Structure 1
Amino acid sequence: MSRFIVFDVETPNRYNNRMSAIGIDVIEDGVIVGEYYSLVNPEQPFDYFNTRLTGISAETVAGSPTFPELWDEIEPLMSSGLLVAHNAIFDMNVLKKCLCDYQINWKPYVRYTCTVQLGRRSAARYEPQAQRCVRSLRHLPESPSGKQRQPRLR
């Protein structure tokens, strides 16, 4: 059985050392079997840019749990499979900084993968075919008007 813990965090400011939201999906054998989402009170000010980007503000998180209050609830999920994130370096660093700032001990090593890196590796596999396609388009014959003919999609 394969079990993936897909997660994403939002941050309140440019320091990226606290969360303002976290979303988690638990996937077993390709099926979503659990979902979790919570706003997080970062106990830090919000930057205008981050608020515009995420739609999350100090008012939005008022009354939300802080990271330590949330950790007891999400730790069992985060410990139950391979962590997966899009741009995992960002999400893992935010998680690490939150754990360190609040002096929460977790694991010395955590297995994770990054969908950005997976996508780049997959794209590189198909790059030669794409380059051949672009080269062939450059060599299309010219039309009588002197303009290059556009390929027709069928």
Structure 2
Amino acid sequence: MDFVTVDFETANSSRSSACSIGIVEVAQGKIVFEQEWLINPDQHFDPMNISIHKITPHMVKGQPTFQELWPTLLPFFENKSIVAHNASFDMSVLRYCLDRASLNYPAFNYYCTYLLSKKILAHMPSHKLNIISNHYGITFNHHDALEDARATANVLLKLLEQEQHNSPAELAKAHGYQIGQMYAGGYTSFSASAGKSKKKFAFRPNTRK
């Protein structure tokens, strides 16, 4: 039961504007590492985004850019099982940041606790991270990258325990999901398989700033 949970916050609506990342590593079902990094996106901050995550331009002044931080982050991604709540967002932030920095994509499988909870907890009125966390008695400070990553890890552990599976891969396959993948040159989405062929997306340099 080993995996890494990830959460990004962005400075504005551009997916390449990551201003913080939280990472939590789980080994044998226990949290063994957690850390948050502030990132200088070298972009403007939208007041709406600031109101959500409370990160300001002053706070990231002097912090590393994504390109500078990537050598530190890469070991947490390469060949790991990556998990995020609403992974389509966090994985797109990762791709856009890598594209903007002209960095190669790492190779890993990834999973989405939002989609998994929609299938497993279908009776719930909402599957947002705070709602699912509250369902399991998990308290946290929403829209803080580290707190969100930790809550995601705890939600997945609860889902695994509830469904009696030993890994994210087992859980995803049991509920008909295609495991997401990132690899050099492209990615496949974490999605309901339902007999569909695997859709691959080729690498496209990011032109958004």
TM-score (norm 2): 0.57
Partner of 2:161: none
The answer as to whether partners of 2:80 and 2:108 remain within 8 angstroms in 1 is no
How far 1:110 sits from its partner (Å)? 3.1
- One-letter amino acid matched to 2:9: E
1:121 aligned counterpart, secondary structure? helix
What does 1:1-154 correspond to in 2, within 5 Å?
2-107=1-106, 110-124=108-122
- One-letter amino acid matched to 2:8: V
Task: Indicate the structure (1 or 2) with the bigger Cα radius of gyration.
Answer: 1
Partner of 1:149: none
**Structure 2 runs not aligned, ≥5 long:** 126-209
How far 1:57 sits from its partner (Å)? 1.1
- One-letter amino acid matched to 2:3: F
Q: 4+ residue stretches of structure 1 with deviation over 2 A?
A: 124-127
Partner of 2:146: none
TM-score (norm 1): 0.76
The answer as to whether partners of 2:79 and 2:108 remain within 8 angstroms in 1 is no
The answer as to whether partners of 1:19 and 1:98 remain within 8 angstroms in 2 is yes
Query: Deviations 1:30-64 (Å, cap 9, x if unpaired)?
Result: 10111121000000000000011000011111111
CA distance in 2, matches of 1:15, 1:114: 21
User: Number of matched residues?
Assistant: 125
The answer as to whether partners of 1:5 and 1:80 remain within 8 angstroms in 2 is no
Query: Deviations 1:96-136 (Å, cap 9, x if unpaired)?
Result: 000001000123x5310001001101123789xxxxxxxxx
- One-letter amino acid matched to 2:71: D
1:31/1:103 Cα in 2 relative to 1: closer, same or farther (>3 Å)? Answer: same
**Structure 1 runs not aligned, ≥5 long:** 128-154
CA distance in 1, matches of 2:16, 2:67: 14
Aligned-pair Cα RMSD in Å: 1.7
Report the identity percentage: 38
The answer as to whether partners of 2:25 and 2:31 remain within 8 angstroms in 1 is yes
- One-letter amino acid matched to 1:105: N
